A and B are shown apart, each in its own frame.
Chain A
Amino acid sequence: MKPFVKLNGLVAPLDRANVDTDAIIPKQFLKSIKRAGFGPNAFDEWRYLDHGEPGMDNSNRPLNPDFVLNQARYQRAGVLLTRENFGCGSSREHAPWALEDYGFKVIIASSFADIFFNNCFKNGMLPIVLSAQDVDDIFGEVAAIEGYKLNVDLATQTVTTPSGKSYIFEVDAVRKHNLLNGLDDIGLTMQQQDKIKVFEAKHKLAQPWLFN
C-alpha cells in the first residue's frame, strides 16, 4: 500500500449529506475485474450530462456545468470536503478506488459510513472527521477564497488552513502507523499465523460443526 504522510492540497467542496457509494461510482462500472481506472467515472451521473457506460472515451463526454467538481477552480483538488455520513450504502471498494484515482487523498466530513471509512485506509487515503461546525467554517472559507488549500499532516494529526488555524483530528493508532508506513495489512496479519492456528484448533474443538 502507498503510504500517506502529509498533503498540501486544493480543497473541493461537495455540499451535501449522505453521499452514497452508488453516487460515487455507479453500478455499471463495478463490472470491471480491475482495481484501477475508475477515476474518470467518479460521480459519473452528476458529472456528465450523458449516460456513462464502461469502455466509453470519457474525455469526449459532455460535462455537467452545474456539478461543483467541474468548476475550473476545483480542478486537481486533492482534498474533498463534504457533509455527514459520506460513503453510505454499498461496501464497494470501487468508491475509494474511484476517488483516489480521481486525485483525492484526503476526505473531510463530519461523519463517514463505517465500511467506506475502513476501505479508505486500505488504499492510502485519509478520511478525517471534524465537527459539523468546523466543517461548516471550512465550507465558508473555501467558497470565499479561490485556490484554498489545506495542509494535512497525519503525524501531528492536524489540518491547517491558509490563515494558520489548525484543527486536530482523531485517528486510530494502528491505522495511523500502517498508513504512515504504507504497511500491508495481510503481511502484518500473516505474522500472527501461529496464533491463528492455535485459535482455529481450539475453536474447532469447541464448535466442530463450523468446520464441516
Chain B
Amino acid sequence: MAKTLYDKLFDSHVVHEENGTALIYIDRHLVHEVTSPQAFEGLKLANRKVWRVNSILAVPDHNVPTTDRSAGVAGISDPISRLQVQTLDENCAEYGVTEFKMNDLRQGIVHVIGPEQGATLPGMTVVCGDSHTSTHGAFGALAHGIGTSEVEHVLATQCLVQKKSKTLQVLVAGKLGHGVTAKDVALAIIGKIGTAGGNGYAIEFAGSAIRGLSMEGRMTLCNMAIEAGARAGMVAVDDTTINYVEGRPFAPKAEQWDAAVTYWKTLHSDEGAKFDSVVTLKAEDIQPQVTWGTSPEMVVGVDGKVPSLDSAKNEVQRGDWERAYAYMGLTANTPINEINIDKVFIGSCTNSRIEDLRAAAAIAKGKHIASNVKLALVVPGSGLVKAQAEKEGLDKIFIDAGFEWREPGCSMCLAMNADRLEPGERCASTSNRNFEGRQGQGGRTHLVSPEMAAAAAVAGHFVDVRQFV
C-alpha cells in the first residue's frame, strides 16, 4: 500500500504495539538546560541508568548571555540561570553525555547545532524537551517536542509511548516571489489554517515551492509547524537534503554513507499515498508577512492592515482580537507599514542560520538603523554560524549599520537571559512566537522574516522589503 513519509518514519520505529498505542524507538535525543534538570533528577531518584548515552547531544542555549562570555559560566549574572547551566554541565559529566558547553565554538541553539553537526539525519526519530524540535523534520526525520517526563522516559528507555497522528499535507505549488521567504510561507500557512489547524496532525510540506527551498529554508518552515498546532512537520528527502548532510561531523562516512543515501532516497510519500487532510497554497499569492497580534495566526501581508472586528469568525475570536488590539497598542485598519518599531531581533531557532544573516545583511549593507530604533540585535544561531558570518564580513556590515553583534543563543526569542523588551516596546522579530510577554512582560512582538526585520530596522517602521531587493 502507498505510504506517506510520516507512516514510513513511524512504522520503521515501532518496538511494540498494543491497542493502537505504540512504543517507538528514539534515535536522537537533544537536550538543553531548561527542560532536563528534573528529568535527570527523576532518573537519579529512581536509580535508573541512561539507556544509550551516544544518542544524546546536549547544549546550553536558553539561559546563556549573548554578551561577553570571557568569565565562563561563573560569569552568568543571574544566579538561577547560572545554576541551571551548571546543572546541565554536571548531569552531562555524571552520565557521560556529549555536551557543547557555553564557550565551545560549536555551542548554539539546539535546533541549529543538531543539523549543523549532522547529528540530525534523514530517517531518524528526533526528540527534545522543546516544542521547536519540529525543525529537524526538514531532513525527512520524525521530530517533535516532548515534556520533561518524556525526556526522563527517553533517557531511561530510549523509547516514547505514542499514538499515531493524523497526516496533513500542505502543498505549496509555484515559485515564491522575490523577497518572499520560508518564514513568509510558514506565516501564510498559519494565517490560513490557524494555530490550532494542525492539532492532532503531522504535517508534510510538499510542492514545487518547498522543493525549491534550501535546507535552511525548510528548517524555518518545519520549525513553525508547531505554531500551526502540529507537533511534527517534515519535508521529503531529495538531493538538497543529501548534499547538505554530506561531510558533517556526525554524518556517516565511507561505505556507511552510500548505504545511508540508498535508504534515505526512499524517504518520501509514495505516489498515491492518502493524507487525512490536504491544504493548498499558491506560492505566487504569498507576500512578505507581518503578525499584528498576540498569536502567530494574527498575520497579514505587509501591504495589509490590522483587521477589523467585522472579519472575526465568531464571538470568541472577536474577544481575542479586542484583547490583542489593547495589548499591542493598535487599532483596527491601521496600515502595517505605518507601525513604528522600537527594537529589532534577528535570531532564534527559526531564523539565525547563515542564509538568514546573509539576507538581513544584504538589506542593511551601507544603510543605518533609523533614529527611533533603540536596539537592533543580531544573534547568530551557533558559534560556527557566527564564525562563518565573520569570515564573510557580515558582522562588520551589521555593526556599521548600527546593529549589535552578539554571541549565540536563544536570546530575545523568549527572553530568559538578559535580552528582552521593556513594557510597551515594539519589536520586529525573526522569532516564532508573538504571545503576550514572550519577549518580555508587556513587550509587543511582530513576527517577520530576516529581510523584513532588517528593512524595518532601517526604515523605523514596517516596510515592504521588495522595495529594497
Residues of A within 8 A of B (CB): 15-18, 20, 22-23, 26-28, 30-35, 45, 51, 54-55, 83-85, 88-93, 96, 111-115, 118-119, 122-123, 172-174, 185-186, 189-190, 192-193, 195-196, 199-200, 203, 206-212
Contacts and interface: CB of A to CB of B under 8 A. Distances in A.
B84 A31 contact: yes
A111 B194 CA distance: 13
B371 interface: no
A32 B165 CA distance: 32
B399 interface: no
Given A27-B414, A33-B37, A115-B131, A17 B156 contact: no
Given A20-B435, A32-B80, A119 B163 contact: no
Contacts, number: 193
Contacts of B157: 186, 189-190, 193, 196
Given A16-B319, A22-B435, A34-B38, A91 B130 contact: yes
Interface string B55-88: 0000000110000000000000010110110010
A111 B42 CA distance: 30
Nearest to A184: B46
A127 B153 CA distance: 21
Interface residues of B, number: 82
Contacts of B263: 206-207
B123 interface: yes
Contact of B436 (A45, A189, A192): A45
A20 B131 CA distance: 12
A160 B30 CA distance: 43
B414 A200 contact: no
Interface stretch (B2-10, B144-152, B173-181): B144-152
29 contacts: A16-B323, A18-B320, A22-B433, A31-B34, A31-B81, A31-B84, A33-B37, A45-B437, A45-B441, A85-B196, A89-B226, A90-B414, A91-B146, A93-B149, A114-B200, A115-B131, A115-B145, A118-B150, A119-B150, A172-B163, A190-B156, A195-B23, A196-B15, A196-B159, A199-B15, A207-B123, A207-B263, A208-B256, A212-B256
Contacts of A200: 25, 52, 158
Interface in B205-241: 226, 229-231
A185 B229 contact: no
Interface in B234-256: 250-252, 256
A212 B199 contact: no
Contacts of B54: 211-212
B377 interface: no
B199 A111 contact: yes
B55 to A, nearest CB: 8
A211 B252 CA distance: 10
